[in-house]
Amino acid sequence: MTGWDIFTIFCAIFLGSSGFILLYVFLRDAYRDRVEKIKR
């Protein structure tokens, strides 16, 4: 395994987890906003 392989795997882990985390945060915020709107 070369340095390029390791860099590729590192980038893939970072990019994949960014996708998951941002989707999670977005859905969480959207859910909270909706609950607040209903309460009001």
Partner 1 sequence: MGNYVANIDYLIIFLYLVMLVSIGIYSYQKDSSYEDFILAGRGMTTPMLISTMVSTYYGLDILFGSSEMAFNDGLMAFFGYALSTLVFYLFIAFYMADKLRSANFISLPEILEKAYGRKTSSIGAISSMVYCLPTTSLFALGRVSEFVFGVDAHYGAFILGGIALAYTLLGGLKAVAITDTIQFSLMCITVAVGVPLLVHEVGGFVAIQENVPAGHFKLFGTVPPWLLIAYASSSLAVLIDPSLYQRIFAARSARQARNAILTSTVIWTTFDWLVVAGGMAALAAVTSGILSSDVHPNDAFLIAVTYALPIGLSGIFLAGVLATAMSTIDGYTLVAGSNISYDMYRPLIKPDATDAQLVKATKIGIVIAWTLGYVVAFQFDRIMALLIFVTTVITSTVFVPVLMALFYQGRKTALAGLLSCGAGLASVLTFYIGMSQIGDYNEVWGTYIFSFSIGDYAFSIWQEYALFFCLPISLLGFFIGNIFGNKVEEAPLKSEAS
Site residues (CB under 8 A) for partner 1, limited to 1-30: 1-2, 4-5, 7-9, 11-16, 18-20, 22-23, 25-26, 29
Number of residues engaging partner 1 in binding (CB under 8 A): 21
Q: DSSP alpha helices (H): ranges in 1-40?
A: 3-39
Does residue 35 touch partner 1 according to CB under 8 A? Answer: no
Does residue 31 touch partner 1 according to CB under 8 A? Answer: no
5-34 as b/e, with b when 16 or more CB fall inside 10 Å?
eeeeeeeeeeeeeeeeeeeeeeeeeeeeee
List of residues contacting partner 1 (CB under 8 A):
1-2, 4-5, 7-9, 11-16, 18-20, 22-23, 25-26, 29
